[in-house]
Amino acid sequence: PQRVLKEAVRVARKKVIITVPFEGAWPPELKPFWNPGHIRFYAPQTLEDELKRVGLPFNIEEIRHDAWTWLGAEVYCEKEQTDGELVKINLGSFRDTIGYGWENWDILPIQQHITKGHKFKQWDVRRGLPLADGSVDFFRVSHLIEHLTLEEAHRLCSELYRALKPDGLARISTPDARIILKHYQNRDMSFFNQIQPPEYTQAPTEGEKLSRLLFSDPAEHKAVYNFEMIKNFLEQAGFERIYNVSPGFSHSATMRNETEDQHVEISLTVEAVK
């Protein structure tokens, strides 16, 4: 398999798509295939281990077709080509600033806390983005939209679309309502203790912890999201290519190599390509 994968990646321009039979979903009487062309099944971990050896980012999903289940994988091998310097903006950076030529924007006057050599601009995104149409290659929006009202977040998505170049990418991360509610329903809100202040860890009930997690100072959160909400906002802004991605994964080599996800244990991450 490695020889086939590496040769496919070598000649592909953007990505390689793979499908294999999912071992856990096929009845014993069909394993192994009597068809001499099939010699093995794959479990998700087996396929993941195989793809990791290729050394490129990938994504694995289950595919159901009729009564059968397969594992589908995309291996991303596109190398980004640039004509001059990329325009990359990290919105709502706070102190999580990025080098590598990124512009870091935040509403707070935190210039004195910025890492030396990192670019910084104080700006309130609720005023719109002072950028020309189609002028930006990448936006990183990490744990910002939960600090906006739903209307403000909706407008920001439209601004991202307007300012991005064709094929430009926006990456949005925010607390995931699905993860939070799962731990609340399981009475396991202590899962978030390590990223919360003492007022949270000392709260006597699960309900108070939920309220503090979502809305208490200093977070000042105004909304909580699931994938469908963000996808809807992005679609209304004009995006058609919208992906729910895992922490650490990106469709962009620039994002993978130059940025790092924060609060991954609680985060929903969405990428949208113009």
Burial string for 231-266 (b: 16+ CB within 10 Å, else e) reads bebbeebebeebbebeeebbbbebbeebbebeeeeb
Whole-number pLDDT of residue 216: 66
Residue with tokens 């209307």: 151
Pair (161, 185) in one structural domain: no
Domain around 64:
2-76
Q: What is the pLDDT along the chain (274 residues), one digit of tens a residue?
A: 778 887 887 777 667 888 887 877 766 666 555 555 666 778 888 888 888 877 777 788 888 766 677 788 888 765 554 546 899 999 999 888 999 999 999 999 888 888 888 999 999 999 999 999 999 999 999 999 999 999 999 999 999 999 999 999 999 999 998 988 888 888 888 877 776 777 777 788 888 888 777 776 655 788 999 999 999 999 999 999 999 998 888 989 899 889 988 888 889 999 999 9
pLDDT of residue 165: 96
Within a domain: 137: yes
**3-class state of residue 20 by DSSP:** strand
Query: SS3 sequence, 122-191?
Result: ECCHHHCCCCCCCCEEEEEEECCHHHCCHHHHHHHHHHHHHHEEEEEEEEEEEEEHHHHHHHHHCCCHHH
| 102 and 148 inside one domain | yes
Q: E-assigned strands of the chain? A: 15-21, 58-65, 68-76, 88-91, 103-106, 119-122, 136-142, 164-175, 241-245, 267-273
111 and 195 co-located in one domain: no
Considering its fold, how many domains does the chain have in total? 3
Does 83 map to a domain?
no
Q: At 91, is the secondary structure helix, strand, or coil?
A: strand
How many other CB atoms are there within 10 angstroms of residue 157's CB atom? 23
Q: What pLDDT sits at residue 233?
A: 98
The side-by-side arrangement of strands in the sheet containing 15-21 is: 15-21, 68-76, 58-65
Instruction: Clarify whether residues 182 and 172 are in a common domain.
Output: no
Q: Do 132 and 262 lie in a common domain? A: yes
Per-residue pLDDT, 201: 76
* Residue 214 pLDDT: 75
Give me the phi and psi of 29, to 5 degrees please: -70, -15
Considering the domain architecture, whether residues 268 and 233 belong to the same structural domain is answered as: yes
Distance (Å, rounded) from C-alpha 234 to C-alpha 174? 14
What is the per-residue pLDDT for 225?
94
